[in-house]
Structure 1
Amino acid sequence: MKIGILSDTHGSLAAIRKVLAAAPPVECWIHCGDFATDANTLHDITGQTVYSVCGNCDAMRGPVEAKPDCYLRLEGFKVWVTHGHQYMGETRKTDELGWWGQSLEQDIVIFGHTHVPLFSQVYGIWLLNPGSPARPREGSKAGFAVLTLNEGQMPAVEFFEV
């Protein structure tokens, strides 16, 4: 199963269009917040299922339908989707998400907030941040990720620049 993952689009339709132009075929999408309403745009354009959560900047835009956390079961993996800001604190320590993921008995934590791509394992939990196609930080390039999940196999991630 291939899943397109993006975060921190911050209302940029141009960034969403660049992602879609560069993306290989995927079965669904995950949007990790900022802005949660961009997930609706993604769904409207693709017609595909889009799982989304709200981020720290979503509250400034008024009420949103998306929740702060989403728990999925995909190809036998327990996947926790969150923007992450409420679990990393001001220091943006991504290791904290590994601890939370372990506490919540998840296999994979998919998050945003830092705008920096990451795929690593902490406390036995896979952490995935797709970066940002609209506002990359810390020298990273604008982009997104595609996560491949097959039951009984290790997760695989490919990062794409836009």
Structure 2
Amino acid sequence: MKIVVVSDTHMPRMNKKLPERLIRELVNADEIIHAGDWTNLAVYEELAKYTTTHGVAGNNDGEDIIKQFGYRKVLKFEGYRIGIVHGHGAVKRKATESHAIDTFKGVRLDALVYGHSHIPVLKRIGGLLVFNPGSPTDKRRQSLYSFGILRVEEGLLSAKHVFYSDKT
């Protein structure tokens, strides 16, 4: 199973369309996860053309997106429990990751997907896979744009980033 993971698209302000590099992965995705800051429901509609799209709202999303997705979600794929949250609300920006983790305190998860910082993260904390895909359209101080791919193959959950320099 291939799950394409995005966050912080900030469309249409940061880009008028999904980047071609992202589209190449979407065409054969089994599922899509968006970790917030869509900023427009049209982003959901575009992603949903490819496959089932799940997500949460971020701090730059309007009431329509908040109502449709909420701020926190636990998804289950082939027995793996994946928590999704945007990660905003921390007192300090550097605390985004710990704030995202604390959001699911007491909840059994195999992986946590969050966004907000636009900083790609892939690590394990104990048995928890912690993943921030970065942003496919707004790299901020990062050298490259990015999104992620989660895979469940042969009973194992893995993640990787896809980095690229051109968001068109």
Partner of 2:33: 30
Change (3 A) 1:123 1:115: same
User: C-alpha root-mean-square deviation of aligned residues, in Å?
Assistant: 2.3
Aligned equivalents of 1:63 and 1:14: distance in 2? 20
Could you tell me which amino acid in structure 1 is paired with residue 7 of structure 2? S
Q: How many angstroms does 1:100 deviate by?
A: 4.2
Q: Percent identity?
A: 27
Asked if structure 2 preserves the Cα contact closer than 8 Å seen for 1:98 and 1:123, the reply is no
User: What's the secondary structure of 2:83's corresponding residue?
Assistant: strand
Aligned equivalents of 1:142 and 1:15: distance in 2? 14
Aligned equivalents of 2:35 and 2:135: distance in 1? 10
Asked if structure 2 preserves the Cα contact closer than 8 Å seen for 1:19 and 1:143, the reply is no
Partner of 2:46: 41
Partner of 1:146: 149
Superposition pairs for residues 84-123 of structure 1, below 5 Å?
84-86=87-89, 88-93=90-95, 94-101=97-104, 103-123=106-126
Change (3 A) 1:63 1:154: closer
Change (3 A) 1:149 1:102: farther
Aligned equivalents of 1:19 and 1:117: distance in 2? 17
Q: How many angstroms does 1:54 deviate by?
A: 0.4
Q: How many angstroms does 1:91 deviate by?
A: 3.0
Change (3 A) 1:140 1:15: farther
5+ long unaligned stretches in structure 2: none
Moved over 6 A (4+): none
5+ long unaligned stretches in structure 1: none
Partner of 1:79: 82
Alignment TM-score, normalising by the size of structure 2 = 0.80
Change (3 A) 1:68 1:151: farther
Alignment TM-score, normalising by the size of structure 1 = 0.83
More displaced stretch, 123-132 vs 95-104: 95-104
Q: How many angstroms does 1:70 deviate by?
A: 1.4
User: What's the secondary structure of 2:130's corresponding residue?
Assistant: strand
Q: How many angstroms does 1:160 deviate by?
A: 3.5
Q: How many residues align?
A: 157
Asked if structure 2 preserves the Cα contact closer than 8 Å seen for 1:6 and 1:133, the reply is yes
Superposition pairs for residues 122-133 of structure 1, below 5 Å?
122-133=125-136
Aligned equivalents of 1:91 and 1:80: distance in 2? 20
Note if 1:156 corresponds to 2:165: no
Partner of 1:10: 10
